[in-house]
Amino acid sequence: MEERDPILERREKEAQAARERTMRNVMIGLAAVALVLAGVLGYMMYQKSQLVKDLELEKQDLTEQMVALQQDYATLSSDYDNINSQLDTSRAEVAELIERIKQTDATNRAKMRQYEKELGTLRTIMRGYIVQIDSLNTLNHKLTADAAAARREAAESRRANEELTQQVESLSGRVAAGSVIKARGIRLEAYNASGKVTDRSSRVVRLLTSLSLVENDLAPRGPVRVYIRVMDPDGIILTNSVQTSFTCGGETLVASASREVDYEGSEVELGIYLNDIETFVKGIYSVEVYTEQARLGSADLNLR
């Protein structure tokens, strides 16, 4: 049997030992790398889990804000049909947005940012409604107060005019009484857009006051301006953009319309139109006719 060289055998053992050490070092290195990768992966999964939780919380917060806005819209109310219609539209938009948020995944950040912008827009719109409703309520209170004041003024004017008429009628002397121009046949009629007489309030576009200045040889000759004061069923004087005023018996009165005619002592027929009134309501309208010298009379018109 051939004997092995001790030196060669030792070298082989040393080489074998070196290979085993190298293998152990490689295994240790791989294990360390695997451990690091496992740690990184675990951290990333943790971060992702936290991000998802944060996004879910953001979605929940956004949903709660939308529900709160929905409740705010529910408390808004108005006495105006136009605003109520707009409110109904906005309420529907809020309800639809809440459903879209619920059906959207919290990780869809682009959609969530879009919903946040829509929430801000709806909040701005709601603030606009609040300002508009407050302004209209304030205006309504003012108009109510103005209407009450106008009714009082109309009542006072009627009483003052009646007193003035009584004073004129009680004047002694043929010259003083006879010099006042008088009228007869005072009528108040309503016309539709076709120029036909109507008593339907919804079809009225203008009012016509017709009368005749009676013959009077003692009355002054020359131009005479005749004024009309038309009052609606609430006693409010109707006026348009050409509103004017006049003085009669020392009192300044608002006129609905007027017309100047040439009076030479003979009877003069005339008509005075009142145009550009926005709406007419049902009820009894009245007209009072004046010159600057006297109240000539009145007439009523019932619109249904």
CATH class, domain 171-303, is mainly beta
Instruction: Please compute, for residue 158, the number of CA atoms within 13 A of its CA located in the half-sphere on the CB side.
Output: 13
Q: pLDDT at position 262, please?
A: 93
Q: Which three-class secondary structure string do you get for the chain?
A: CCCCCHHHHHHHHHHHHHHHHHHHHHHHHHHHHHHHHHHHHHHHHHHHHHHHHHHHHHHHHHHHHHHHHHHHHHHCCCCCHHHHHHHHHHHHHHHHHHHHHHHCCCCCHHHHHHHHHHHHHHHHHHHHHHHHHHHHHHHHHHHHHHHHHHHHHHHHHHHHHHHHHHHHHCCCCHHHHHCCCCEEEEEEEEECCCCCECCCHHHCCEEEEEEEECCCCCCCCEEEEEEEEEECCCCCECCCCCCEEEEECCEEEEECEEEEEEECCCCEEEEEEECCCCCCCCEEEEEEEECCCCEEEEEEEEEC
Residue 279 pairs with which residues in a beta bridge?
none
Q: pLDDT at position 47, please?
A: 62
Query: Could you report the per-residue pLDDT of 3-32, keeping only the tens digit for each?
Result: 667 777 788 888 888 888 888 888 887 877
Query: Could you report the per-residue pLDDT of 67-81, keeping only the tens digit for each?
Result: 887 888 777 777 777
The low-confidence residues of the chain, meaning pLDDT below 70, are: 1-4, 40, 42-52, 54, 106, 168-178
**C-alpha 258: how far from chain center:** 35
Q: For the chain, give every domain's residue range.
A: 17-135, 171-303
Q: pLDDT at position 171, please?
A: 55
Q: pLDDT at position 176, please?
A: 54
**What are the distances in angstroms from CA 55 to CA 58, 104, 108, 248, 298?**
5, 12, 9, 79, 77
Q: pLDDT at position 117, please?
A: 84
Q: pLDDT at position 28, please?
A: 83
Q: pLDDT at position 273, please?
A: 96
Q: pLDDT at position 131, please?
A: 79
Decide: 299 and 187 in contact? Cβ < 8 Å.
yes
Residue 229 pairs with which residues in a beta bridge?
288
Is pTM, for the whole model, over 0.85? Answer: no
Decide: 98 and 115 in contact? Cβ < 8 Å.
no
